[in-house]
Amino acid sequence: MVDLATTLVPAAPGGRGGPVVVDQAPSPVSALDERILDAATALVARWGVTKTSLADVAKEAGCSRATLYRSFPGGKQQLFAAVGHRELAGYVDAIVEVVDEADDLADALTRGLVVAARLLRDHDAAQFVLAHEPELLLPFLGFKQVDRLYSHVSAVIGPHFERFVPAERAAWLTEWAARLFITYLFNPDPEVDLVVIDDTRRLVTSFVLPAFSPST
């Protein structure tokens, strides 16, 4: 699994402050931890982050609140930070896998964007938040927070493009692709559906690659 050195997560509802930076957020170390994270993710898909309590998660996971707190002593904020870290790590792993299988730069970009779009489309918890709790995403959209997120994605995924372009350009390209994805996420284009490979390939070859030709 790709190692994510830091993960940005918004403060849990009722918490204080803006996004929390979780340094080396721990991966689950037991079947119980996995079960608790699975339960939290399922409940977010069912009724969202705001309405999900620790008591709900404990009941869904089949454990007591005391047991849940032993795994996540920081409470709801730590629990959802761990959920975000796990989901993001899996998301990045899937993108890296298809980028590594690509034959050329256009194929790598196309595959990466399509997989990212399809994973997001099929992620019930993420779709609930986007549809019903978009305000929870606002902390990510401040300049400092979103730039840090882009830089982080670039640092993790960028090296996998170095088969096709030099390292500096690979990092730049990865960040650019991440910005493009976020733009289409919040401002969908009726002419381009990123889950459709032909649409995405046309976008990549017509608009993305020309910006990264050797002459630029």
Q: Is the pLDDT of residue 65 over 60?
A: yes
Mean pLDDT to the nearest integer, 111-115: 97
Q: For position 48, what pLDDT does the model report?
A: 96
Q: Is the pLDDT of residue 29 over 70?
A: no
Q: For position 137, what pLDDT does the model report?
A: 80
For 134-170, write each residue's pLDDT tens digit: 888 877 666 677 888 888 889 999 999 999 999 999 9
Global pTM? Answer: 0.82
Q: How many CA atoms lie within 13 A of 61 on its CB side?
A: 27
Domain ranges of the chain: 6-212
Q: Is the pLDDT of residue 6 over 50?
A: no
Percent of the chain with pLDDT over 90: 63
Q: Is the pLDDT of residue 72 over 90?
A: yes
- Residue 96 is inside which H or E element, if any? helix 75-101
CATH number attached to the domain at 6-212: 1.10.357.10
Quote the tokens at residue 92: 């990045």
Contact 15, 77 (CB under 8 A): yes
